[in-house]
């Protein structure tokens, strides 16, 4: 009654049924290997061949509408730069979830949070939503559950009170670096906080973790706000008094560490003689520098499989306990020459 006819349309289950000489229901049963329904092998085969011949692929939206939920694991990602570890982790996760019949979808959304954002995510009736912990509110989680989302999973540096969490422990990274510096005999510690505001989500916890570890050993840390460009960083370093200059610095990550090392060396400071430097993320490039860069390695690659399995279970069982840790990254120091 409505649509303009537009040439050849994609095949539907009804088309397949007609070609195979069976009913549409039978096609559906065959395609989904419906348990508890008996279909003879000959019919099964005929349906399969007809589907193949027509290039049939079920209409995802129709299926979602009928079932009330899709097989999508929705991952709303705003403008946050995806780091080295996280990128690998999610690529792997996507591959594994696919094996369980789910589809990981990265959805470039606005940076809203709470119920408003949840409403937008809910449109897709995803099986699960995987999102930064600080974008969830109680009302938002409730809304998602009401929309049939089986499980909401948070991601953040600490277990969320609202949902099970993938803990990417940025506190531990800072702590690990500082403990290493102290063990190497450094006492005038500095911790880099990137001047770039979009990194604040990660930088806050790393700094706090460093601060806490230092406090536990009776050492103070100094906050160093550092821009990522060479000139800006040089200015910061030039402003240091010889007496007050730190003798050990955790540089937030390897990128900032490399810039920092460069400008310190150009300013005549010896690394690690005058100042020890520790980065994080263990980028391959860090090993090319002289001195080779000490870094905090964040492990997690392996665990993507565990997370995928667990997530699948949770979707099937519609588990929604909050405060549970589904995954926890571990931090360990990789000691090289810069510290």
Partner DNA sequence: ACGTATCACTTATACGTATAAACTTTGTAT
Partner DNA sequence: ATACAAAGTTTATACGTATAAGTGATACGT
Cβ closest to a copy of itself, residue 60 vs residue 216: 60
List the alpha helices (DSSP H) in the chain: 13-20, 24-31, 41-54, 60-67, 84-99, 114-122, 138-146, 170-183, 200-216, 230-238, 254-266, 304-317
Q: Residues 137-156, buried b or exposed e (16+ Cβ, 10 A)?
A: beebbebbbebbbbbbbbbb
Q: 94 φ, ψ to 5°?
A: -60, -45
Would you say 148 or 227 has its CB closer to DNA?
Answer: 148
Q: Check binding of 16 to a copy of itself (CB under 8 A).
A: no
> Least Å distance between CB 143 and DNA?
14
Q: Are 177 and 209 in contact (CB under 8 A)?
A: no
Residue number, 43 or 228, with CB nearest to a copy of itself: 228
- What is the token pair recorded at 294? 């000490």
Least distance between a copy of itself and beta carbon 74 (Å): 10
Contact 311, 128 (CB under 8 A): yes
> Considering beta carbons, is residue 126 or 159 the nearer one to a copy of itself?
126
Taking CB under 8 A as the rule, does residue 284 contact a copy of itself?
Answer: yes
CB of 34 to DNA, least distance (A): 6
Sheet holding 189-194, edge to edge: 221-226, 189-194, 248-250, 276-280, 294-299, 330-334
Tokens linked to 167: 């803990």
Determine which residue in the list 20, 30, 122, 224 makes contact with a copy of itself, applying CB under 8 A: 122
Residues 267, 283, 180, CA angle at the centre, nearest 5°? Answer: 70
Residue 310: CB minimum distance to a copy of itself, A = 19
Of 88 and 119, the one with the shorter C-beta distance to DNA is 119
Which of DNA, a copy of itself, none binds 1 (CB below 5-8 Å, type-dependent)?
DNA
Nearer to DNA, 125 or 336 (CB): 125
Does residue 123 touch a copy of itself according to CB under 8 A? yes
- State the pairing for strand pair 330-334/151-156: unpaired
With CB cut-offs between 5 and 8 Å by kind, which of a copy of itself, DNA, none does residue 132 bind?
none
- Contacting positions for DNA (CB under 7 A): 1-3, 9-10, 12-14, 21-26, 28-29, 31-32, 34, 37-40, 42-43, 56, 58-59, 62-63, 65-68
8 vs 239, beta carbon nearer DNA: 8
Least distance to a copy of itself, CB of residue 30, Å: 17
Task: Tell the residue number behind the tokens 């589809």, with chain if given.
Answer: 103
Tokens standing for 18? 């007609």
22 binds, among DNA, a copy of itself, none (CB under 5 to 8 A by kind): DNA
Q: Please report, to the nearest 10 degrees, the dihedral formed by the alpha carbons of residues 4, 10, 11, 14 taken in order.
A: -40
Asked if 58 is part of the footprint of a copy of itself (rule: CB under 8 A), the reply reads yes
Q: What's the full length of the chain, in residues? A: 339
Nearest-CA neighbor of 91 among 271, 286, 257, 301? 301
Q: What residues make contact with a copy of itself under the rule CB under 8 A?
A: 3, 6-10, 55, 57-62, 64-65, 68, 70, 79, 81-82, 87, 91, 94-95, 98, 103-110, 115, 119-120, 122-125, 143, 146-148, 228-230, 255, 258-259, 262, 284-285, 287-288
């Amino acid at each position: 009654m409505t649509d303009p006819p537009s040439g050849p349309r994609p095949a539907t289950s009804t088309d397949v049924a007609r070609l195979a000489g069976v009913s549409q229901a039978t096609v559906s049963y065959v395609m989904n290997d419906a348990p508890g329904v008996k279909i003879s092998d000959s019919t099964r085969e005929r349906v399969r061949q007809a589907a193949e011949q027509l290039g049939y692929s079920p209409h995802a939206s129709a299926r979602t509408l009928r079932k009330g939920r899709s097989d999508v694991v929705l991952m709303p990602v705003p403008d946050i730069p995806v780091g080295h570890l996280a990128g690998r982790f999610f690529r792997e996760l996507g591959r594994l979830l696919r094996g369980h019949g789910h589809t990981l979808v990265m959805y470039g959304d606005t940076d809203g949070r709470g119920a408003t954002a949840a409403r937008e995510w809910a449109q897709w009736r995803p099986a699960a939503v995987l999102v930064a912990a600080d974008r969830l509110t109680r009302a938002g989680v409730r809304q998602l559950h009401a929309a049939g989302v089986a499980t909401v999973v948070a991601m953040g540096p600490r277990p969320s009170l609202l949902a099970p969490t993938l803990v990417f422990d940025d506190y531990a990274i800072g702590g690990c670096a500082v403990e290493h510096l102290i063990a190497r005999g450094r006492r005038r510690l500095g911790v880099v906080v990137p001047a770039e505001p979009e990194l604040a989500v990660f930088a806050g916890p790393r700094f706090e973790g460093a601060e806490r570890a230092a406090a536990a050993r009776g050492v103070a840390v100094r906050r160093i706000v550092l821009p990522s460009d060479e000139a800006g960083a040089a200015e910061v370093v030039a402003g240091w008094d010889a007496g007050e200059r730190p003798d050990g610095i955790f540089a937030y990550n390897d990128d900032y560490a490399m810039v920092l090392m460069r400008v310190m060396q150009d300013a005549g400071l010896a690394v690690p003689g005058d100042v020890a430097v520790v980065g994080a993320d263990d980028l391959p490039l860090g090993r090319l520098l002289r001195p080779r860069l000490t870094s905090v390695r964040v492990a997690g690659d392996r665990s993507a499989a565990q997370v995928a399995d667990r997530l699948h279970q949770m979707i099937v069982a519609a588990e929604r306990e909050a405060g549970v840790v589904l995954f926890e990254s571990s931090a360990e120091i990789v000691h090289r020459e810069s510290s």
